[in-house]
Amino acid sequence: MGDFNARTSSNQAILLSNYSNPNPLWLDEDLTLASRYNKSSEDLGQNLFGSELVKLCSAQDLIICNGLTKWPNSSKMTCIHVLGNSLVDYVIYDIPLYNKIINFYILNDHDPDSDHRPLTVTLNFVMHRDYIQDNPYSQKNLIFDRNKNDLFLKRFKN
């Protein structure tokens, strides 16, 4: 997740394998998977970094989550600049982590010190701590708020 300065247009990585089938898997051959990972983008431009990012994701079986139909808000421009807008900030995951994403969206507002919109991802996973003896499977919901950094760190450590 981050600013890659890569413009990929609507291009998606080609998954070469999946975890339930070790044989090569080409999205063009499996229509269910092909439609599941198709992406769209408000940014129709593509640059060399974008082409290389798609190749890297293909080689590592990673999914570019921006613009997937599952999260319609995620195809918006992420860099708002006087010279032009672009989508260059990405959420990229492998299939197991992709399946843990509950929500992904791009906020409309951004910090005055930045020309990038924040990306927000909500994941569904359980945190286990070995040293908790009363209930080894206790779950916590930890939500980061920049204005409550100290409180977040305190709760995270406890």
- pLDDT tens sequence across 64-85: 999 998 998 999 999 999 899 9
Nearest to 62 by CA among 97, 102, 23, 10: 97
**Encoding tokens for residue 33?**
């998977």
So where are the chain's domains?
A: 2-157
Which ranges of 23-132 does DSSP label H, i.e. alpha helix?
31-36, 48-59, 95-98
Taking only the tens of pLDDT, the chain with its 158 residues reads 999 999 999 999 887 655 555 455 545 455 455 556 889 999 999 999 999 999 999 888 889 999 998 998 999 999 999 899 999 999 999 888 888 999 999 998 777 788 999 999 998 877 665 554 554 455 555 555 667 667 766 766 66
Side chain identity, residue 41: S
